[in-house]
Amino acid sequence: MNQPINRRAALKVGAAALATASLVSIGPAAEPPRKRSIKKAVMWGMIGAGNTVLEKFQILKDAGFDGVEMDSPDGPPNGEILDAAKRTGLLIEGVVDSVHWDKTLSHADPSVRKIGLDALRQALRDCKALGGTSVLLVPGVVDKNVSYADCYKRSQEEIRKALLLAQELGVKIAIEDV
């Protein structure tokens, strides 16, 4: 008795097969996802209270933060930062290039771009010295003197000049597009 199967019967058979397949393991069991702890950090420039690096770090620690992202090259001395980090247990997660808004890598004046590039290189060195992994960089600013095309071209040219140092230090350049 070979009767043609109707749509309802076909859907029932398909649903049953799908339900059965979902119960059967195919291949080895997948590893459970690794637990990744989420750590809270704040940028150095956001800390309003406290007078010394140690006081500011202690305020962050007491507020429940795990780390801080320092400014460079215009931040406090590295020795003071490292001492405060050791005493409070705060991590130095990274560094923010503290001159990238003013001395942009896209500026029309090559001497200003050089100051920006030197600052980026120092931020990379400071990041490594502080135990961080990345330097936050806003590579350029578009304004009445700098077009989008010029900003893109100049900032890429300047960043390329810092890539070898970043690679040698094992520090990433984190580009922020604002």
Domain ranges for the chain, please list them.
31-175
For residue 93, what pLDDT is reported?
Answer: 87
d(CA 46, CA 77): 18
Who has greater pLDDT, 18 or 56? Answer: 56
pLDDT reported for residue 3: 63
* Whole-number percent of the chain with pLDDT over 90: 70
Q: How far apart are CA 104 and CA 34, in angstroms?
A: 40
Closest CA to 70 of 134, 164, 166, 158: 134
What's the whole-number mean pLDDT along residues 50-56?
A: 94
CA-CA distance, 152 to 12, in Å (whole number)? 58
Q: Which of 68, 149, 55 is nearest to 108 (CA)?
A: 149
Q: Are 110 and 71 in contact (CB under 8 A)?
A: no
Nearest partner of 116 among 96, 139, 150, judged by Cα:
139
Short-list 46, 73, 51, 49, CA closest to 59: 49
E strands, 4-147, where?
41-43, 67-72, 91-97, 134-137
Quote the radius of gyration of the chain (alpha carbons, Å): 26
Residue 34's pLDDT is: 78
pLDDT digits (tens, 9 = 90+) for 114-144: 999 999 999 999 999 999 999 999 999 999 9
Q: Write down the residue that tokens 């490594």 correspond to.
A: 128
The per-residue pLDDT for range 78-107, each reduced to its tens digit, is 999 999 999 999 999 899 999 989 999 999
Please check the confidence at residue 24 and state whether its pLDDT lies above 70.
no
CA distance 14 to 26: 18
Classify domain 31-175 by CATH number: 3.20.20.150
DSSP, collapsed to helix, strand or coil, labels residue 77 as coil
Is residue 2 scored above 80 in pLDDT? Answer: no
